[in-house]
């Protein structure tokens, strides 16, 4: 499920006018991005965004 969601997100980003700009990385390896304001195909103005991508995604362990 994870890789398909990443593929969909990448495809959507390439078709929309959303452009991710890498701002920086912290000491833990988390990546920070900035997406400037843009207009979509319907003419709506989309606000600017700031996104953090975690370095290590942990899976939850099941307790017995």
Q: What is the pLDDT of residues 23-58, one digit of tens each?
A: 999 999 999 999 999 888 788 998 999 999 998 877
- Using 50, 70 and 90 to split pLDDT, how confident is the model at 1? low
Q: How many domains, in total, are found in the chain?
A: 1
The answer to whether residue 34 is domain-embedded is yes
Q: Does the model's pTM come out above 0.85?
A: no
Structural domain including 31 reads: 2-53
Distances, alpha carbon 17 to alpha carbons 8, 26, 50, 56, in Å: 15, 27, 16, 28
Per-residue pLDDT for 64 more than 70? no
By the 8 A CB rule, do 22 and 35 touch?
no
The answer to whether residue 62 is domain-embedded is no
The answer to whether residue 27 is domain-embedded is yes
The answer to whether residue 35 is domain-embedded is yes
- Using 50, 70 and 90 to split pLDDT, how confident is the model at 14? confident
The answer to whether residue 33 is domain-embedded is yes
By the 8 A CB rule, do 54 and 37 touch?
no
């Amino acid at each position: 499920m994870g890789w398909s969601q990443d593929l969909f997100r990448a495809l959507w980003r390439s078709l929309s006018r959303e452009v991710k700009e890498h701002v920086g990385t912290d000491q833990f390896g988390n990546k920070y991005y900035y997406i400037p304001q843009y207009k979509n195909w319907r003419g709506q103005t989309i606000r600017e965004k700031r996104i953090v991508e975690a370095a290590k995604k942990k899976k939850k362990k099941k307790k017995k």
